[in-house]
Amino acid sequence: MNGNVPSNKKIFKFLSIEPPHTYVLIFIILIVCAILTYIVPAGQFDTMKNESGRDILIAETFHYVDSNPTTLYEFFNAIPNGLVKMASLIFFVLVAGGSFAVVNETKTIDILINKLAKTLRGKEKIIVFIIMLLFSLLGGLIGFDAECVIFVPLCIALARRIGYDSITGIAMVVCGAFVGSSVGTFNPYATAVAQGIVGLPIFSGAWYRIIMHVVILSAAAAYTIWYAERVKRDPSKSYCYDLEKTLPKVSEEDLKYTIQTNFNLRNILVLITMIFSFGTIIYGAIKLGWFASQMSPIFLALGIISGLAGGLNGNEIARAWLSGAKSMIFACVVIGMGRGILVIMEDGMIFHTILNFLANILKMLPSSFISVGMFLINIVINFFVPSGSGLAALVMPIMGPLAQMTGITLQTAVIAFQCAAGFSDTIIPTSSTTNASIGVGNVSFVQWFKFSIRLALIEWGLSIVFIVIATIIKL
């Protein structure tokens, strides 16, 4: 192995162990949170329901309550409990994974990838940017986040076909979606919930968010392209080089795009089915407020109809669907484990105590640092609650009054919350979306972290610049 090749083993050489599995990382965090229920005093804010029926915290009502430390049974029940609480999303991922496998069995996606690669031959950088732009628009318009997991295998196949690696394929989807959902120009979940809680007009300040979107997406795409081109020149520079060596090699003939690029009638019917299905889902998300559970039937229909249109018989559809669903098991368990962290902290009555402690730190900061302090503290909180709308309901009832008391505009407080919540998801081991996406691609968290830490620092740096500007202009 080249001496310059990044190796997971180097990081853990002093411990003489292999890098921890994603499940192990999350399990360690679960243990730490369970121990904290014996150390951190239990406390709670009073809550009330807002106009949409969501429970929100009432500022200045924090009080200590009787402790409720996690028992051994409750600890091991946290993961099953998390799986139950995230059931709609987990079923969505299973159904979508199975249906995409059926679509893939018709070879339509392969031909589409080949056609795209051939059309943009020599312009692979444009492919990366276009895909990141597409997913960032989905993130910014309909809050596309966990749903993007199902597109990861497709984009990994495309990335490897044009000479890049699996991490590039994951980044095109996940990092693009995170930019859109983090800035959230018209995100119906995080943006709408956060602004609604503090009393701002829904989707106000859109012009500023559009500027943020363009700048931060350009930076994220530039970094991803830089990494991808470096890997293309020297595959040993890939952070998942060990993985790439085990995968079927993309032949020179493939890279020359001499493979099939022509659609037949069945392929065209499958494409029409896909376009109609995605159009229905986007309409449902924007106009009808659909969540994962409402999208699942559309994906199920997509798989069955595409299979029949593509010439597959019933047994072939069933086998393909089961194979695709099976490939999503890792992602589904990660989603449940991640939610288990919040289950332990909430049942142990310590999450509100931690939230109150961090809010008190904000009060002690000089007024000129309050907005940046909000951003940094929300990064910490998001580690435990990696959910845009869920985090908004927990922190914005507190951040809103704090902003008003310190002269920070409510719009700036919302931006600080969102940028912290979204961009930190790129690197935290508790993000279900990130863990599920890298799991689908068989990339370890350590390998992904090597790539994503620089990107997160770039996005955080730009976020702070925009937060400071928003503070100065009193957005």
What confidence tens digit (pLDDT) does each residue in 189-230 have? 678 778 877 778 877 888 999 999 999 999 999 999 999 999
0.95 exceeded by pTM: no
pLDDT class of 237 with cuts at 50, 70, 90: very high
Interatomic CA distance for residues 267 and 306, integer angstroms: 9
**pLDDT above 90: residue 140:** no
The residue among 9 and 71 whose pLDDT is bigger is: 71
Between 216 and 296, the more confident residue is 216
Amino acid at 14: F
The pLDDT value recorded for residue 407 is: 76
Q: How confident is the model at residue 384 (pLDDT cuts 50, 70, 90)?
A: confident
Averaged pLDDT, 288-311: 86
Average pLDDT estimate for 176-190: 81
Confidence of residue 277 (pLDDT cuts 50, 70, 90): confident
**How far is CA 471 from its chain centroid?**
28
Residue 380's pLDDT is 83
Model confidence pLDDT, tens digit, residues 353-365: 888 887 788 878 8
CA distance 384 to 429: 10
Q: Which of 77-81, 138-142, 245-249, 375-379 has the highest mean pLDDT?
A: 77-81
pLDDT band at 395 (very low <50, low <70, confident <90, very high): confident
* Predicted local confidence at residue 207, as pLDDT: 92
Question: For the ranges 16-20, 61-65, 229-233, which has the lowest average pLDDT?
Answer: 16-20
pLDDT at 16: 43
Contact predicate 375/416, CB 8 Å: yes
Per-residue pLDDT, averaged over 403-419, amounts to: 84
Question: How large is the C-alpha radius of gyration of the chain?
Answer: 23
When pLDDT is cut at 50, 70 and 90, the band that residue 31 belongs to is very high
pLDDT of residue 4: 45
| Half-sphere exposure at residue 268, Cβ-oriented, CA atoms within 13 angstroms | 4
Bigger pLDDT: 468 or 363? 468
pLDDT at 401 exceeding the cut of 70: yes
* Span of 33-37, 242-246, 404-408 with lowest mean pLDDT: 404-408
Distances (CA, A) of 221 to 134, 213, 215: 12, 12, 10
Q: What pLDDT does residue 10 have? A: 53
What CA–CA distance (Å, rounded) separates 139 from 121? Answer: 28
- Cβ neighbours of residue 183 under 8 Å, at least 6 residues apart? 140, 209, 212, 213, 216, 418, 419, 422
Say yes or no to pLDDT of 8 above 60: no
Which of 125-139, 207-221, 247-261 shows the highest mean pLDDT?
207-221
Cα–Cα distance measured from residue 108 to residue 104, given in angstroms and rounded to the nearest whole number: 6
